[in-house]
Structure 1
C-alpha cells in the first residue's frame, strides 16, 4: 500500500513544478495564464491569488467536462492554455495537475510550496471581498495544526 507522500512522489515523475517566483514571472509574461486553486471554497474565500479560479479537488475532473453540474466553462476551454495549479502546500495541486494532464491539458504545472510558499515569498493574497490579506495573518492561517489524535500511534 502506498502512503500519501509516495503517491505525490509517483505523480511528480509526470508533473512539473514551479516555484513562487516563477509563477510571479509567468503571470507577468502571460496574461492568459490560468491559476486553478483546488482548495475548498472556505479556504479560497479566506485567501487566494487574484484572478485565480476556485475548482475544489473533489469536483475537478467533472468541472473539466461539458454536461455536468460542476462544469466550469473557463476550465473546459483551457486545455491549450498555460495552467498553474495551486493549493495550500503543493500536494493536492500535484494530484490535480496529474488529473488535468490525463484529461488532455497540454501545459500544466503545480506550484511547489503552494500558497504557503507564495505568502513566504511575500506575494499578494486577497480575501473573499477582494481585500489584501496581511502577510502575518496568512502566516498564521497556513501554520499546520495537526491535532494529537491525528498523529501516528507510538
Structure 2
C-alpha cells in the first residue's frame, strides 16, 4: 500500500524541480506562477504575481480557464514544502502541459532564501 510520501516521491522522479535561484529567474518569464496551497495559506503571503489554484481544484480550473489551457505555457508551481506542487506538476504533465516546473522545497525554501514575498494587507475598519 502506497503512502502520500510514496506518491510524492514517484511524482518528483517524473517532474522538473528547480531551486529557489532558478525559480526566481523563472518568475520573470513564466506565463503563470501557480500557488497550489489553500486560500488561507496564499492570503498569508505568496510569490509576487502568483495566482492561487488549490491542489484539489487544479485540473478542473485548468480545464475551465481558457487563459491557462495552452499546453505550451511556461508554468511555475509551488506549495508549502513541494509535495502538493510535485503532484500537481505530474498531473499537468499527464494533461499534456510541456513546460511545468516546481520549486524544490516550496514556499518554505523560498522564504528561507530571502526571496520576495507579497503579503496582502487587510483593510483597517477602525
TM-score normalised by L of structure 2: 0.89
| Max Rg structure | 1
* Deviation string, structure 1 residues 126-147 (Cα, Å, up to 9, x no partner): 12339xxxxxxxxxxxxxxxxx
Query: What is the CA–CA distance in structure 2 between the aligned matches of 1:33 and 1:27, rounded to whole Å?
Result: 9
RMSD: 1.5
Which among 110, 117, 124 is matched to residue 116 of structure 2? 124
Partner in structure 1 of residue 27 of structure 2: 27
Is contact 2:31-2:75 (8 Å) kept? yes
Task: Report runs of 4+ in structure 1 exceeding 3 Å deviation.
Answer: none
Give the paired residue count: 122
1:21 match: secondary structure: helix
TM-score (ref. length: structure 1): 0.74
Inter-partner Cα distance in structure 1 for 2:44 and 2:59: 24
Gaps (5+ residues) in structure 1? 66-70, 131-154
Shift of the alpha carbon at 1:81?
1.5
| Alignment counterpart, residue 88 of structure 1, candidates 71, 80, 85 | 80
Give 5+ residue unaligned stretches, structure 2.
none
